[in-house]
Every structure is written in structure tokens, then in C-alpha cells.
Amino acid sequence: MAPQDPLAENNGYTLDSQGPDSFPLGMKIPSTVKVRRPSAADLAPQSPILAESLAKSPVDRVFWRKRSLHRLFSLGNMDAKARDSNIPQSIDGKRSRKSEQELDEHARTQIVEDSIYVMRMNDFGGYTVPAQGLYPFQWNWDSAIVSAGWAVFDEARAWEELEKLFSGQWEDGMVPSIVFHRPSNTYFPGPDIWGTPQKPSKSTGITQPPVAALSVRFLYEHTENPELAEQKLVSLFPKLLAWHRWWYKARDPENTGVVAILHPWESGMDNSPAWDESMKFPIDKLPRYVRCDLNHVDSCMRPTQETYDRYLTLLHRFKAANFYDPSRLYWISPFRVTDLCVNSILIRANRDLRWLALRLEKDDIVKEIDEWLNKGFEGFKQLWDEDSGLFKCKDQLTGKLANAPISAAFLPLFAGVATKEQADKLTHNLERWLGQVNYGVPSMDPEDHRFEPLRYWRGPVWIIMNWMISNGLRHYGYDELADRIKDDSISLTTKAGLREYFDPLTGDGAGGRNFSWTAAMCLAWLDRPAAIAIGHKMSGPKKHLNA
């Protein structure tokens, strides 16, 4: 039994760490699991801004549900009676498109309710923890995704999520991967190990994929409160810009058009096989440490001990470099990689930042962003591997492409930097991968000998990757394939609940439970028409489509 996070209790929820796969708002509540529904006090907002916003609208879960259902695809038309009379008792794991479609409406209603519930449960006061116990602080790209989930039922709270994230921004523009707003003893390495006391909040000394500009555009474009959105855009835009500028200054000082990550945690794909070669540097003598992640998740689903020793080696070396001084880290790090995930998201985020700059009539900034985009087009060329028909990450220290077919290989579609020919080759590979599994998209080629269906980024399906990949496919006109991935994502969350990731062979959930960004994906991104339409609305140069 994992230790309970004391903050979780502050939130008023007693959720057994072995708790239900699907949060229990109606059905499938295992009797052995201690879960209770929230009381009015539980639902009271944790932050003054949220309190104020909710004071103007009812603090009522039924209200939220209705409102969110109306704002979501087809579910708005369902009346509760029709839904309840038809709820299936179990969902078998077999692939049957027809029956899945029939189940869809009821199951999605349930998932929407569960998602709202999970977001509320993981709200620690203006920020949403990814999963209680396992990840008890504010994570950078999780929060950006989660903000759009909030927007479906509480727009003010959505903006607050982003403001809270940027409250941890460093003076040089970096937005840290984790902001430690409040203490917790259920995660390692916490603020004491990182030791960054001079910064606005306690935080890590590294960053994460820059998703935030995408979310700001999404919130702004779909606002129901234009005055609020305008005000938030004006205050957030300079912060976004400073972060993007930081990426180029600190992580591309040699002006290659693509940026480096210096720690696997910066990619978000901690133990991806793409880092195997680049992580072969010697492990330093480390202070004794105890991992906490294994208190929450089975070790077969997490990075190995040796990998952790290398994560910690990097952390301690960076700390010794004048406390994560960005002007030094690039030059001293034994791990320096061009990551497809960060670079694709950065390019896509540049496009959204450009769109926002146009709204604000900042022509000089539009020009600056166009330069980043044009250089990015060039930079991506070195990441294409014609032999495999895939993009690959690249070790900047050896100059070699990583011999690892990972799902981030498809993200240049999301960035809009792949040529049409490349897109064609990518989709051939993708179809082959999907033919080997029951649920896509696995995080690595299932035919590769390193494929492990349960181990974090070495095989499992991640819903956020599914959204980015399907979104990119739509941009290039592969709507059918995009729909297949969307349907798989719906099947997985329906079958296994709001898990961190999923086994592509069985569809079972894995990693953390009641996971905030999976909830946000279900609420805002996955199948909401507005989010689907984004695939067709890329700002900035479209040279790739003419190639």
C-alpha cells in the first residue's frame, strides 16, 4: 500500500492507491475500494480567483456536467433517462467497431463525468496535479493540456492554471518542468534535491515541451468570455514569447534551427529507447536516494534503476554548474539530444504564438517567429531517415540519428514540417504499427525487439501522443487514419479509465490512475470538433504542402 499524500487528504478525498480504474460516478465501483463522492465542501474552490469566478456561477456538479456536455460534440442532446436505461454493464476487450460506436454515447457521457471529477479532485488550488501521490506538484506540459480541460466547464479556472504555471517562470524566460508550490513527501526528487532557492517558486532546473502557446490559442479562440480572454492574452503573451526566445538562446546557441534537450525529463518521454545510446555516459557517485515512484506504480511500468541513476547524475552535474546556469548547461551536459517531441511541439507552438501575435498586431514579433519557423524547416531535414521512412531523434554530441522507431517520429506532421512524400512514408509505417497491436499508437514500433507494452515510453499508448499524431494526420489529409487513432483513444479510456498510459495489446490501463491530462484529453482535445478542427488550422508557412 502506497503512503497517502497528506495533501490528498487536505483535498478531502480518500482514494486508495489501488483504486478504481474508472472514477466512480455511476457505475463499476469495486466494493473493496474506499472512495467517496465529494461533498459541497470538497467541491469548494481552493483558490480565491476560482472562488470568485464560481461565486458568479453555481457550484453544482450537475450544472458543470450539463454545460460541458453541451459544449462537447454530440453528447449535448442526450437526456439522462435515455442514457441510464442503456448503460452497458461491461465492455469486452474485443475489437468491434459497430458495438463500440453503439456504446460510445453512454460511455463517453460517463467518461466526461469522470473527467470533470478527476480534474476537481486533482485541483490543489489554482494548479492541477497530474496524479495524486505519484506526481503531487504542478508539471509544465501536463498543466498546459489540463488548462483546456478546465475551459470546457470553467474558463476562469483554465486561465488560472496557466497563470500559476508561469508564476514559476525564471527571469531568463525558462518555465521549469515542475513547480513545487506546496510540499509533499510522495515524490522524488523534490525541491530539496533540486535546490533552486533563488527562483520565484521552488522548481526544477530544467524545462519541458512548450505546449502552453497551443493552449492559450485554444482558450482564446474558443472563449465564451472575450473580455477575460483578451485580458489574459495580453498578460500571458510576453511570458510565452520569453519562453520561446529562451529555447532558441539557451538550447540552440549554434543556430541550427532545432533545439536541444539536456535531460530525458525535458522531453517528457523519460525512458524512451531514443535515449539508450546517448545515456551511456558514466554514472557519478551519487548521494544515497530512495525512489518514490515505485510506491505508486509497479516497477515493470517504470524506468529501471540504472536509468534513474543516470537521471540523478545529470541533475547533480547541472546543480553543480552554478545552479542550472543555462548558458553553461548546453556545453557541459553529457546528454545533448535533438528530440522530436520537443522540437515538433515547439514548431507547432511557434505557429500558435504567431497567430496570437497577429491578433495583438505585433508585426515585428510575427517576423521573428517566421524566422524560427523557416530555420526549423531546415533543421528538421537532418532528422529524416530515408531508410526507415521515419523521423529520428539525434544525438548532438555524436552527430548520429538514434536508432529507435518511436511514436514521436510522427510528430513532424503535427508541426507541419514533413513534406507530402515524407508524410506518405510515415503513414505507411504507422499503418504497419497499427496492424501489430489492438490499440494505437504504441510509443515504439511493436516489431522492434525493445518493445515493452507496459513500460512507460517503451511501448504503451499515451493519449496526448494520439491526439498530436491524429491532429497532424488531419492536417495532411489522412482523416481516416486520424479517426482510427481517435477511436482507439476513446476505446482505451472507455475500457480502462483515465489512466496515465495503456497497454497497446490488451488495452489495460497502466501507470498512474485518475490522471489529469488523460481527463483533459477526454474533455477538450480528443474528439471535440473544435480540437479536431485545429488540424486544419495551422498558422505560418505551409511550404511543406507545396513540396
| H or E element, residue 395 | strand 394-395
If the CB atoms of residues 264 and 507 are measured against ligand DGY, the closer one turns out to be: 264
Cα 430 from Cα 236, distance rounded (Å): 37
Cα 7 from Cα 278, distance rounded (Å): 37
DSSP 355: H
If the CB atoms of residues 369 and 463 are measured against ligand DGY, the closer one turns out to be: 463
Amino acid at 191: P
If the CB atoms of residues 307 and 427 are measured against ligand DGY, the closer one turns out to be: 307
If the CB atoms of residues 265 and 355 are measured against ligand DGY, the closer one turns out to be: 265
| Beta strands 394-395; 337-338: pairing state | antiparallel
Interaction of residue 338 with ligand DGY, rule CB under 6 A = no
Cα 25 from Cα 29, distance rounded (Å): 8
List the catalytic residue out of 5, 114, 445, 500.
Answer: 500
If the CB atoms of residues 265 and 391 are measured against ligand DGY, the closer one turns out to be: 265
- Our CA dihedral for 460, 476, 399, 447, rounded to 10 degrees, sits at 40
The SS3 call for residue 179 is strand
- Determine whether 52 is an active site residue: no
List the catalytic residue out of 105, 221, 230, 270.
Answer: 270
Helices (H), 258-338: 264-267, 305-320, 326-332
CB of 270 to ligand DGY, least distance (A): 5
Burial class from Cβ neighbours inside 10 Å (0-12, 13-18, 19+) for residue 338 reads buried
If the CB atoms of residues 202 and 486 are measured against ligand DGY, the closer one turns out to be: 202
Interaction of residue 177 with ligand DGY, rule CB under 6 A = yes
Closest CA to 47 of 149, 167, 152, 140: 167
Interaction of residue 396 with ligand DGY, rule CB under 6 A = no
C-alpha cell at 135: 506526481
CB of 457 to ligand DGY, least distance (A): 9
Could you tell me which residues come within 8 angstroms of residue 442 by beta carbon, excluding any fewer than 6 positions away?
Answer: 407, 433, 436, 451, 453, 459, 460, 461, 504
Within residues 263-282, the interface with ligand DGY by CB under 6 A covers 265, 270
Question: Are 89 and 175 within 8 A, CB to CB?
Answer: no
Closest CA to 53 of 126, 127, 109, 132: 126
One DSSP character per residue, 123-142 reads: B-SSSB-SBTTTB-SEEHHH
Contact letters (x/-) for ligand DGY, 247-266, by CB under 6 A? ------------------x-
Q: Where are the beta strands (DSSP E) in 415-510?
A: 501-502, 509-510
DSSP 261: B
Amino acid at 298: D
- Determine whether 421 is an active site residue: no
Question: Are 511 and 499 within 8 A, CB to CB?
Answer: yes
Closest CA to 198 of 323, 88, 100, 309: 323
DSSP 404: -
CB of 145 to ligand DGY, least distance (A): 14
Closest CA to 497 of 12, 2, 5, 30: 30
CB of 536 to ligand DGY, least distance (A): 32
CB of 9 to ligand DGY, least distance (A): 22
If the CB atoms of residues 164 and 474 are measured against ligand DGY, the closer one turns out to be: 164
CB of 265 to ligand DGY, least distance (A): 4
Count of chain residues binding ligand DGY (CB under 6 A): 4
Within residues 290-309, the interface with ligand DGY by CB under 6 A covers 293
With CB atoms as reference, the residue minimizing the distance to ligand DGY is: 265
Closest CA to 111 of 171, 53, 65: 65
C-alpha cell at 6: 497528506
C-alpha cell at 121: 479532485
Q: Residue 424's CB: how many other CB atoms inside 10 A?
A: 13
The footprint of ligand DGY (CB under 6 A) covers 177, 265, 270, 293
Active site residues: 270, 500
